[in-house]
Amino acid sequence: MQLSFLGALHEVTGSCSYLEVNGRKLLIDYGMEQGKDFFVNQPIPVPAMELDAVLLTHAHIDHSGLLPLLNKQGFTGKVHATIPTCNLCDIMLRDSAHIQEFEAEWRNRKAQRGGREPYEPLYTMAHAQALIKQFEPHEYDERRTLFDGIDVRFTDAGHLLGSACIELWLREGDVEKKLVFSGDLGNINQPLLQDPCYVEQADYVLIESTYGDRAHEVTPDFAKALAAILQRTFDRGGDVIIPSFAVGRTQELLYFMRHIKDEALVQGHGDFIVYVDSPLANAATRVFTQNARFCLDAEAKKLLSEGINPIAFSNLIATETADESKLINVDKRRKVIISASGMCEAGRIKHHLKHHLWDAKCSVVFVGYQAVGSLGRSLLDGVKSVKLFDEKVRVAAEIVQLPGISGHADVNKLIDWVTHIQPKPQHVFVNHGESDVSDGFSQRLNEEFGLTSSAPYSGSVFDLGNNAYITLAPPVATQKAQKAAEEPTPAYKRLLAALERLTALVKKFPGRANREVDTLTRALDALADGWERM
């Protein structure tokens, strides 16, 4: 009865855990890493064809994106997930496969010109389509036996349509344990989705820590805050660009846009246009509508009962083709452009940024988490220019981050959720958070709440039967992370540049009056003395 930690350890993406019970081999999530990769993830310890099943918390690519690779490698078992997650993965994994094939085609054109070896895509559309057929849908709150000694139940995590905490009842010989994976816990009072459900009992818990070091700000009136940005941007003649995750966040934005239009919160610009420029987002919106009974909250269900689609309104234009997407940027009317990806790492959003970032009349509005190393994070951190499609683009547009729409629970909700479990778990494992955040959250659970907790690195293995680590792996930095650590920081580079400037100034002092030389010398000595004492 062993749990191996493989992905999203001291990082926010790439979730993956491996469980062996009663001779059965299970994988919980198998996600892609997105943004900057800091630590090496250890591989699955057995060949894919030996896996008996996969359990999936939700459809986001950082939890599901590598599943077609399992099919490519010979996995023939079932992927267990909620009904909406199965439906979303049907479109999201196909989209991911399309991206893999497109990137391979692009690389191979370059490789052919350079006489290099051909590049093989991570997986193809055929692998994604075959994997989708392996999904086994589950209802929420339904306890089912997977194998002898392994029962499972999916409960609503409130993070995304179909997202779930996974409860596992395990029995091996005379040892019985309950293991819970939080998945990504949702924020409270989100539009469309219900709040996360509590878990009543567990021996072991694996909990995310995306916001494990901070509380969300007091939730503002998001519609009014967004309307204010639209108003001032339209008034100065600009467009509003919203990088948005295609699944979940985009549908929330449509909910707010409908409200803004219904309440006439933007004045003087008529029935302004809202483009959703993402085939994936448009398909996901249809899945949301079709699965309303599973997750939508009371307010959204009330609108549906009145014949009102909570995520549709006039002048909403869904673009599908590349040609339709290109036409958006020649449309001179005031507009909102919602496009993927949410961290600006790929997709059509990069084209819209290229056309709008340089324009001070426009606004770029971030409505979700931006991982360290992502283009979105760089823009929020105040970068003055970015490179888009081999072209340097200055950043003149207004860059805004709207609080209160995070899809993740904040530190207070995480603590509330895990301390609700009684009696206290034997051990709480912290994952899915930036490195310092994971460590700090684990330490807080230990010191303030008396929970035995740790934040393992990839490759660690825990014996659930004996409540002890078999292997406590050290951090292994990626080559890129090692190289980055060796390079001077931007701040240090600025200091060196200041030194070079000062050196050049000093070299100009021969022949100047002694009084001036003495004044500069005393100033430099005083500066050095002060910093040496610090």
Average pLDDT rounded to a whole number, residues 338-360: 91
pLDDT tens across 277-333, in order?
A: 999 999 999 998 888 776 677 788 888 888 888 899 999 999 999 999 999 999 999
Place of tokens 């993070």: 159
Up-side HSE of residue 301: CA atoms within 13 Å toward CB?
A: 10
One DSSP character per residue, 342-390 reads TTSSSSTHHHHHHHHTT-TT-EEEE-S---TTSHHHHHHTT-SEEEETT
Q: Is residue 451 scored above 50 in pLDDT?
A: yes
Q: Is residue 516 scored above 90 in pLDDT?
A: no
The residues pairing with 228 across neighbouring beta strands, listed in sequence order, are: none
Between CA 465 and CA 327 the distance in angstroms is 60
**How many beta carbons lie within 10 A of that of residue 338, not counting itself?**
27
Q: What percent of the chain has pLDDT over 70?
A: 96
Look at 207-211, 438-442, 499-503 and tell me which has the smallest mean pLDDT.
499-503
Distance, C-alpha 264 to centroid of its chain: 32
- 3-state secondary structure string, 91-107? HHHHHHHHHHHHHHHHH
Give residue 498's pLDDT. 80
Average pLDDT rounded to a whole number, residues 204-224: 89
pTM confidence score: 0.82
Between CA 316 and CA 311 the distance in angstroms is 10
Between CA 448 and CA 519 the distance in angstroms is 55
Q: Is residue 38 scored above 70 in pLDDT?
A: yes
Q: Is residue 234 scored above 70 in pLDDT?
A: yes
Find the helix or strand (DSSP H, E) in which 470 lies: strand 468-471
pLDDT band at 486; cut points 50, 70, 90: low
What is the CATH architecture of 2-215+407-480?
A: 4-Layer Sandwich (3.60)
**Are the CB atoms for 242 and 344 separated by under 8 Å?**
no
Exposure of 432 by Cβ count < 10 A (0-12 exposed, 13-18 middle, 19+ buried)? buried
Give residue 299's pLDDT. 82
Q: Is residue 534 scored above 50 in pLDDT?
A: no
Measured CA distances, 32 to 76, 121, 273, 429 (Å): 20, 14, 34, 21
310-319 burial: b if 16+ Cβ within 10 Å, else e: bbebeebebb
Up-side HSE of residue 472: CA atoms within 13 Å toward CB?
A: 6
Give residue 480's pLDDT. 66
Measured CA distances, 174 to 3, 22, 144, 149, 171 (Å): 18, 11, 20, 10, 7
Find the helix or strand (DSSP H, E) in which 414 lies: helix 411-419
Place of tokens 């055929």: 126
Question: In CATH, what class is 222-401?
Answer: alpha beta
Residue 203 is given by DSSP the state S
3-state secondary structure (DSSP) of residue 80: strand
Look at 33-37, 147-151, 193-197, 263-267 and tell me which has the smallest mean pLDDT.
33-37
Give residue 219's pLDDT. 67
Give residue 321's pLDDT. 94
Up-side HSE of residue 191: CA atoms within 13 Å toward CB?
A: 22
Between CA 47 and CA 476 the distance in angstroms is 22
Look at 109-113, 179-183, 435-439 and tell me which has the smallest mean pLDDT.
109-113
The candidate with the shortest Cα–Cα distance to 442, out of 456, 455, 431, is: 455
3-state secondary structure (DSSP) of residue 201: coil
Cis peptide before 121 (omega within 30 of 0): no
**Are the CB atoms for 152 and 26 separated by under 8 Å?**
no
Check if 2-215+407-480 and 222-401 are the same fold: no
* Structure-block tokens of residue 181: 């994976």
pLDDT tens across 146-201, in order?
A: 999 999 999 999 999 999 999 999 999 999 999 999 999 999 888 888 999 999 99
pLDDT band at 383; cut points 50, 70, 90: very high
Please give the backbone phi and psi of residue 333, each rounded to the nearest 5 degrees, phi first: -70, 155
Q: In the chain, where are the structural domains located?
A: 2-215+407-480, 222-401
pLDDT band at 481; cut points 50, 70, 90: low
pLDDT tens across 40-83, in order?
A: 999 999 999 999 999 999 999 999 999 999 999 999 999 999 99
**Are the CB atoms for 131 and 68 separated by under 8 Å?**
yes
Average pLDDT rounded to a whole number, residues 506-530: 81
The candidate with the shortest Cα–Cα distance to 233, out of 327, 364, 351, is: 364
